[in-house]
Amino acid sequence: MVSGNVARRLEVTNPFIRHSSILNHSSSEEPAFLKQSTIWVMAITVGVNVANIYYAQPLLASIGRAFNLSVARVGAIAMLSQAGTAVGMFLFVPLGDKFERRALILTLLTGSFFSLLLVATARNAIWLGTASFLVGVFAANVHVVVPFAAHLASPQQRGRVIGTVVGGILMGVLLARTFSGSVGALLGWRAVYAIAAGAMLVLAALVRKKLPVSRPDSPLSWVNLMRSTLQLVRQHAVLRESALLGALFFAAFSAFWTTLVFFLGEPPYHFQNAGATAGLFGLVGAVGAAGAPTIGHLADKHGPRFTIQIALWLALASFILLGVAGHHLAGLIVGVILMDLSVQSGHVSNQTRIYRIDPGARSRLNMVYMFCYFIGGGLGSYLGALCWHWARWNGVCGLACLLLLSALIVEAMHRQPAKKALVLQRE
């Protein structure tokens, strides 16, 4: 009886303990079976939202001409969108544990609508850069929707629901370049963002009609949520390693996609509509990305560290191939397929690892990982543009190889401590 009174007093005075008890209470009440139409709405929502970040890449040459920007400066536009997403994750994702989720999603969709309109109507580089940053900030909505989907799903269907929604993200990333490259070639780059803004309004109406009201259980303030997240970073070396590896993977990936449009416009390709052609390579990349689920099965069988090592070496080999044979169309296509397969495989393997750390803190663990992931992507976009300016295609591929060699060193440094920890755990 005394211990029970002490426990109740601790719950009152310690918000972290009180939060844990509420989550345990909530978990005993299983959610109803989620309708297929609701699942598809959430998958479409994340796909259309994440696409906003990637529309710019096939359009960079056109945007640079419109504002008389150098390659390095127009590369900063792509960087700002990804950096904005990292900031948006830091600001908004924890709020999904505090505020009503559907209302939060609708608010962020409204922000996306206005930021996309600002891009479409930009009159100078500062206006464009600011608007691009805001597009990225509100695109963090994706990582509010994914935990919401997991929350709504029943335990029996949770894996399938999360797989479908995350599949929407992948399709949005890949098809955004195809859409913007094609539409940009026909109607101009501003039309891409005007259409995207209209899509946000349609999406908001769909979300308002199809998604349920969901009030979170957590009483924690934003400050306490952040404090608990920092504790997770300090406590778990696997989280720190995964976040750093994810950032390096995505930096190499972004350096390639940011500069591909410039590469296709120069010898030996001389494509007149390089933006549209670069967009079509998004479909080529889908071939490689489709192999990522197989890597997920290998991660379950042999452990994610095994598949991360494969992904790192495969990514390095893909950029060596792109550097050596990328001036031939066959070499470029094979290199893109291998690169997308390796980067998506590394991403799946990293997320498999971090979700095992603490099932009760998956949203915060994912926030840390994706924050670093998009910071890496933003830096990769900017550094890729600089390397293109200095050394053209060889410079971009050299940068990617350097990033991946750094990732291999990071993985090797963490491998032995991880093995020792596993041995001690078994003993």
DSSP state of 95: G
Angle between helices 125-139 and 101-120 (to 10 degrees): 160
- Tokens 């069988």 correspond to 301
CA-wise closest residue to 136 among 88, 94, 76: 88
Phi-psi region of 347 (alpha: psi -120 to 50; beta: other; left: phi over 0): alpha
DSSP state of 30: P
> How would CATH label the architecture of 220-427?
Up-down Bundle (1.20)
Can you tell me the distance from the alpha carbon of 270 to that of 263, in angstroms, rounded to the nearest whole number?
Answer: 9
Write down the pLDDT at residue 110: 97
Collapsed DSSP state (helix, strand, coil) of residue 32: coil
The pTM assigned to this predicted structure is 0.76
> How would CATH label the architecture of 31-219?
Up-down Bundle (1.20)
Which residues make up the CATH 1.20.1250.20 domain(s) of the chain? Answer: 31-219, 220-427
DSSP string, 54-80: HTTGGGHHHHHHHHT--HHHHHHHHHH
Phi, psi torsion values for 322, nearest 5 degrees: -65, -35
Can you tell me the distance from the alpha carbon of 220 to that of 66, in angstroms, rounded to the nearest whole number?
Answer: 47
Cβ atoms within 10 Å of 40's Cβ, excluding its own: 14
- The tens place of each residue's pLDDT in the chain, 427 residues long, gives 433 443 333 333 343 333 333 333 344 455 567 788 888 999 999 999 999 999 998 898 899 999 999 888 888 888 899 889 989 988 887 777 678 889 999 999 999 999 999 999 999 999 999 999 999 999 999 988 877 887 787 777 765 777 678 778 878 887 898 899 899 999 999 999 999 999 999 999 999 999 988 776 656 677 887 888 899 999 999 999 999 999 999 999 999 998 998 999 888 998 877 767 877 887 777 776 666 556 656 666 777 888 899 999 999 999 999 999 999 999 999 999 999 888 888 887 887 788 778 866 777 888 899 889 989 998 999 999 999 989 999 999 999 999 999 999 999 998 866 555 544 444 4
- Tokens 């306490």 correspond to 224
The answer to whether 346 touches 253, Cβ cutoff 8 Å, is: no
The answer to whether 372 touches 241, Cβ cutoff 8 Å, is: no
Q: What are the residue ranges of helices labelled H in 101-188?
A: 101-120, 125-139, 142-152, 158-187
Can you tell me the distance from the alpha carbon of 123 to that of 19, in angstroms, rounded to the nearest whole number?
Answer: 48
Write down the pLDDT at residue 21: 35
SS3 content of the chain, % helix, strand, coil (to 5): 85, 0, 15
The answer to whether 364 touches 225, Cβ cutoff 8 Å, is: yes
Q: Which two tokens stand for residue 224?
A: 């306490």
Q: Which two tokens stand for residue 332?
A: 């470029």
DSSP state of 211: S
- Tokens 């998009």 correspond to 374
**Alpha-carbon distance values, 283 to 169, 203, 215, 290 (Å):** 15, 24, 39, 11
The answer to whether 184 touches 62, Cβ cutoff 8 Å, is: yes
Can you tell me the distance from the alpha carbon of 154 to that of 27, in angstroms, rounded to the nearest whole number?
Answer: 11
Contacts of residue 10, defined as CB under 8 A and 6 or more positions apart, other chains included, come to 17
